[in-house]
Amino acid sequence: MRYTNAQLLEKLRQLRIVPVIALEQAEDIVPLADTLVNNGLPVAEITFRSAVASQAIALLREKQPDILIAAGTVLTAEQVVQAKNTGADCIVTPGFNPKIVQLCQDLDLPIIPGVNNPMAIEAALEMGIRAVKFFPAQASGGVNMIKALLGPYSMLQIMPTGGINLDNLQDYLAIPNVMACGGSWFVESALIKAKNWSEIRRLTREVVDLIS
């Protein structure tokens, strides 16, 4: 399905955690996504840190048509177009780039841009953005910083990413404006490279059990 902004935010609220995935081989996305879906997490943020990102998105869209696919670490207009053409449901960026936001809005493609300060938040609000990624979350002040920012910006929906783990996940999710957190500890590149699906399964179950 093509998500509207409202549908996307509702879906993220249901999921609560988004696996942030960096791949070396595109085909690894298939067993990885099977592991996530079969253990209660039908979502994947495939980051453009990897040269095979768009290939992996296309492969995942073909094999798992119902999974929510985010294209992450999107920095260029070319990557936005690649992500849309290969089947991504939304774009996630590390920072706030007005040109990228405008392109996504023109393409009717939901975007969750990265912010970590009032200036970036105001730029986002100016363009009609109400859902943002708070990045890098822990390094930018974590839970306390988010609570402080929500004083003046209580209209925001937030997806903290960066430094999230099993120990602090519930602290972030306890904040009403936090719709979901991005995390990579349970889909680490080393585990994917080693094709250690059993360990990824165990870690995913641990996360899903915690949030449910």
Token output for 96: 């706030």
Is residue 27 part of the annotated active site? The answer reads no
Identified catalytic residue from 133, 193, 195, 206: 133
**3-state per-residue secondary structure call for 173-196:** HCCCCECCEEECHHHCHHHHHCCC
Identified catalytic residue from 11, 24, 27, 45: 45
What's the Rg (C-alpha) of the chain?
Answer: 16
- Candidates 76, 34, 84, 77; CA nearest to 54 is 84
Strand order in the sheet with 111-112: 111-112, 90-92, 68-72, 43-47, 17-21, 181-183
Q: What count of Cα atoms within 13 Å lies in the side-chain half-sphere of residue 128?
A: 9
Is residue 62 part of the annotated active site? The answer reads no
Distance CA 48, CA 92 (A): 10
Buried b (16+ CB within 10 A) or exposed e, 85-97: ebbbbbbbbbebb
Active-site residues, by number, are: 45, 133
